[in-house]
Amino acid sequence: MEIILLQDIQRLGHKDDIVTVKDGYARNFLIPQKMAILATESAKKILAENQKQRAHKEAKLVEEAEALAAKLQEVKVSIGAKTSSTGKIFGSVNSIQLAEAIKAQGFEIERKQINIAEDTIKEVGKFTAKIKLHRKVVVDFEFEVVSE
């Protein structure tokens, strides 16, 4: 069944994408939860018109995201954590703490935009996280975890 997504759905697609899913998934979950609508001919025409109108706004958002990405590349963030004598962290460092550290530097980044490859970090060192500023702009952000 072809549907038009009304919002971003992880591992399925982005808002306004036309995707094919199984009938039950569409009828029983996506459509009742207002995450998608049926991709009829009239819905496709309306979608095409909306995308034309939104293209200019989209270009401006991508430009702003790329400017923010360039600024984020220059920022150095270090997160302090209590550690044992061997360098293991008591607890862990996750995207929430990284978002707070970036916010302290003056950037508004939500924790949902940050993806740390190891989910949680349990030792001292340098790590890389991916920050999704826009669906077309993803930044590799390096940060350091240090002992307090």
Length of the chain: 148
**pLDDT the model gives residue 12:** 93
CA angle 60, 66, 69 (to 5 degrees): 145
Report the pLDDT value the prediction gives residue 94, as an integer from 0 to 100: 86
Residues of the chain with CATH 3.40.5.10: 2-63
Q: What pLDDT shows up at residue 8?
A: 92
CATH fold of 2-63 reads Ribosomal Protein L9; domain 1 (3.40.5)
Positions of the chain with pLDDT under 50: none
For CATH 3.10.430.100, the residue range(s) in the chain are 68-147
Residue 93: the pLDDT is 87
Q: What is the pTM of this model?
A: 0.64
Mean pLDDT of the chain: 90
Instruction: Report d(CA 121, CA 48) in Å as an integer.
Output: 44
- In angstroms, rounded to a whole number, what is the distance separating the alpha carbons of residues 98 and 137? 19
Tokens 């360098």 found at: 87
Architecture of domain 68-147: Roll (3.10)
Please report the pLDDT score of residue 37 as a whole number: 95
pLDDT value of residue 89: 87
The CB-based long-range contact list for 5-8 (8 Å cut-off, 24+ gap) reads 5/30, 5/35, 5/36, 6/34, 6/35, 6/36, 6/37, 7/35, 8/135
Q: CA angle at residue 119 from 19 to 87, to 5 degrees?
A: 165
Question: How many other β-carbons are positioned within 10 Å of the β-carbon of residue 95?
Answer: 20
